[in-house]
Amino acid sequence: MCGIVGVLGDHEAAPLLVEALKRLEYRGYDSAGIATVQGGRLDRRRAVGKLVNLSDRLVHEPLAGKSGIGHTRWATHGAPSEVNAHPHRAGPVAVVHNGIIENFKTLREELHAAGYASETETDTETIALLARRHLDAGHSPREAAQATLARLEGAFALAFLFEGEDDLMIVARKGSPLAIGHGQGEVYVGSDAIALAPLTDRITYLEEGDWAILTRASIDICDGEGRPVHREARTVHLDAGQIEKGGHRHFMAKEIAEQPTVLADTLAHYLGDEIVLPEPGIDFAEVDRVAMSACGTASYACAIARYWFERIAQLPAEVDVASEFRYREPPIPPRTLALFVSQSGETADTLAALRYAAPKAAQVASVVNVPESTMARESALVLPTHAGAEIGVASTKAFTCQLAVLFLLAVRAGRDRGTLDASAVAAHLAALQALPGLMSHALALGPEIARVARRIAEADDVLFLGRGPMYPLALEGALKLKEISYIHAEGYASGELKHGPIALIDDTVPVVVLAPRDGLFDKTVSNMQEVMARGGRVLLVSDAAGIAEAGAGVWESVAMPSVDDLLAPILYALPAQMLAYHTAVAKGTDVDQPRNLAKSVTVE
C-alpha cells in the first residue's frame, strides 16, 4: 500500500526519486522521504503529508548523492508523523518497507534488551535496528541483510541502503511486490513498474521470497533459501501519459471519461469470430461450480457476475470476500473453477485466497489489470482487463472492464454448457459491443448529475437500492460515495428495505434507486413507492420509459440510455461513479487520494 523506489545511477538521485514517488503517490500519501549516500555518507529527508511537502523541504535542504531510496507511506503502525516516516535509519543503515512485520514486537523487545532502543512507533524501524545489530557484530552489509531477513515474519518489500556503500543496495520481497529496472550502467527499484516508466522498460520481477544484491554493474538474485536464481528480464510497455491527468481536474474524472475507449479495447482483445480466451482457456463443460473471491469493488464485480453465470450458463456460482474466504477454509470440489479478481493483482487477501484454492480447484484463473502481477504469475489462466493504469483510489474503469471480462466468461460458459445456442451467443456479444457507445451517451449526463450531486452533498446519509444484478451495483455505488465524499452510504437489495432499513427513511435521507426497465422494474418501483410514502427523497436512475412510467413525485431523476437487461450494471456504474465524484467535488474532499485509503492493498 506504500510506494518504494530506489536508484543506483549516474545522476543525482533525489530528483529521480521524487519524480518516481509522484507516480506512486496513489499508493500512500501520509508522509514521504528519501535517503541517499554521497561520498560514503548516508543522509535522509522526510516530511509529513503529501509529496509536495517533501519537495519543498528538499528545495531548502538539498540532498546530494547518486544512490538513494525513497518511500511514500500509508500508515499501518504509528500515526503519520515525521518520526514515523520512511526511510527509517539506525546508524549506518536506512530502510524503506511496504507491508507488515508481524513479529516486530518480539524483535523490538529483544533489541531493547540488547541496548538498541526504538525512536518510532513503527514495525519498520525494527528492521533497521536488527540490521544495525548485525553490522555492529562485524557482518558485511550482505550478511547483515540476509540475517535480518531470516528473522522477519509477515509481508514485506524492502530496500536497504548502507553508509560507506555508494554502489550497493539490497532489496527483498515476501508478500509485497518489488521490481528491478535495468538501465545503462544504472539500476532502479520500484514497488510498481509505473514508478520506473520514464527510466526503463526492462523489468525483472522478484518472486516470492527473493532477495537481491544490486550494484550498477550487477544484479545477483537469491531465493528464500539463499540459492542463486535467475529471474527473466522482460520488456514492459507503460505509457507515461496514462499517469497524467490529461487536462482533467482529477485522475478519477479522467478515468471515468476513458471508459468507452478502454472497454472497447478490452472487447477487442477477447472478441474475434468468437470469444477468444488466453491459453490454456477454460472448458466450462468440465466445470460444475465457479468460486469467486475478491475485495472491495472487485468483490461487487464478482457478485454481479454471479447472476450472469447462473442465469446465462446455469452454472452455480459463489462469491466470497477474500479476507473471509481464506480463513473460512471452505471445501472446494475438484470440478471447481476458482476465479479471483483484483485491479492490481497484488491484493494481499485475494492472493492468499488464490494460494489456498490453487491445489484444490480444477483450475485457477485471475482477472487482473496488471498482467505481470503476482496473482497473474500464480494463476493457470490470466484474463487481463486492459483498462490501463488506474491512479484514482476509487476504482472506475477497472471495475467496468472487470465486468466485461466476467460477462464474456459467462457467455462462454453458456456456450460450452449448451444453455446458449449460436444465435443467443451472438445476441449477447452484440449487446456487449454496443456498450461503449451507450457509455458515451451516459457520460454526457455529467452536468445533470453534477447538479444533483450538489444537493446530495448536503446529506449525512444516503441509501442505494437495486434488485437482481443491480443490487451489487447499489453496494458499489454506496462504496464509491463513502470512499471519496465521506458521506455515510449503504446499499441494499430493494426487497430488503422493509425488513429494517426503511426505519432510516425521512426527508433528510436521499435514496438512489438504480432501476433499469427490466423484468424486476415493477417490483423495484413498489419498493421506491414505500420510500416516497414515508417522505423519502428518491433519485431515480432509469431509462426514459422507466422515468415516464414511475417518475411522478420523485425528488430527482437521471434518464439513462436503454440497455440490455443483463448489461445494465456495467452502464449504470457510470452514473454511480459520477454521482460520487461530483458529490466529493461539491464537498471539497480529496477525490484522488481520499483519507485513510490507498490504491493497492498489499497488507491484511
- Percent above pLDDT 70 for the chain: 97
In degrees and rounded to multiples of 5, residue 505 shows phi and psi of -75, 125
Q: Which residue has the higher pLDDT, 221 or 601?
A: 221
Q: Is 2 a catalytic residue?
A: yes
Q: Which pLDDT score, from 0 to 100, does residue 197 have?
A: 80
Predicted confidence (pLDDT) at residue 604 exceeds the cutoff of 70:
no
24 close to 195: Cβ distance less than 8 angstroms = yes
Whole-number pLDDT of residue 24? 79
Interatomic CA distance for residues 506 and 542, integer angstroms: 23
Catalytic position from the list 2, 222, 295, 401: 2
State how far the Cα of 162 lies from the Cα of 169, in Å rounded to an integer: 8
**What mean pLDDT is predicted for residues 302-308?**
98
Closest residue by Cα to residue 269 from 443, 439, 435, 433: 433
73 Cβ contact partners less than 8 Å away, ≥ 6 residues apart: 2, 28, 29, 30, 31, 32, 80, 84, 85, 86
pLDDT of residue 599: 57
pLDDT band at residue 436 using 50, 70 and 90 as cut-offs: very high
Place of cell 481536474: 249
Buried b (16+ CB within 10 A) or exposed e, 193-216: bbbbbebbeebbbbbbebbbbbeb
- State the Cα–Cα distance between residues 257 and 43, nearest whole angstrom: 43
Contact 351, 230 (CB under 8 A): no
Q: Pseudo-torsion of CA 129, 178, 82, 45, nearest 10°?
A: 90
Q: So what's the pLDDT on residue 378?
A: 93
Half-sphere exposure of 526 (CA within 13 A, CB side): 9
Let me know if 599 is a catalytic residue: yes
Q: What residues contact residue 200 under an 8 Å CB cut-off, 6+ apart?
A: 181, 182, 183, 188
% of the chain exceeding 90 in pLDDT = 72
Report pLDDT for 598: 62
Q: Which residues pair with 89 in a beta bridge?
A: 94
Instruction: Specify the pLDDT at position 468.
Output: 94
For 448-472, the pLDDT digits (tens) are 999 999 999 999 999 999 999 999 9
Q: What is the pLDDT of residues 353-367, one digit of tens each?
A: 999 999 999 999 999
pLDDT of residue 373: 87
Q: Which residue has the higher pLDDT, 473 or 502?
A: 473
CA torsion 351-352-355-361 (nearest 10°) is -90
C-alpha cell at 435: 456498450
d(CA 174, CA 99): 9
Whole-number pLDDT of residue 241: 53
Does 240 have pLDDT greater than 60? no
Interstrand relation of 289-294 and 336-342 (parallel, antiparallel or unpaired): parallel
Position 601 pLDDT exceeds 80: no
Q: What is the mean pLDDT of the chain?
A: 91
The continuous run of DSSP H or E covering 36 comes out as: strand 31-38
Q: Measured between alpha carbons, how far is 43 from 53 in angstroms, rounded to an integer?
A: 18
Q: Residue 28 — pLDDT band, cuts 50, 70, 90?
A: low
Specify the pLDDT at position 3: 84
Mean pLDDT of 43-60: 93
DSSP H helices, 486-601, are 521-532, 544-550, 568-587
181-192: pLDDT as tens digits: 999 999 999 987
Residue 105 predicted with pLDDT over 60: yes
Burial class (CB in 10 A: 0-12, 13-18, 19+), 503: exposed
State pLDDT tens for residues 528-547. 888 888 888 999 999 999 99
Res. 12: pLDDT tops 70: yes
Residue 193 confidence class, pLDDT cut points 50, 70, 90? confident
**Rounded CA separation 96/37 (Å):** 14
Q: What is the DSSP letter of 141?
A: H
Rounded to two decimals, what is the model's pTM? 0.81
- Specify the pLDDT at position 600: 58
Whole-angstrom Cα distance, residue 589 to residue 554? 28
Q: What is the pLDDT of residue 386?
A: 93
The angle at the Cα of 167, spanning 165 to 169, to the nearest 5 degrees, equals 80
Q: What angle do CA 52, 57, 61 make, to 5 degrees?
A: 150
Q: For position 27, what pLDDT does the model report? A: 66
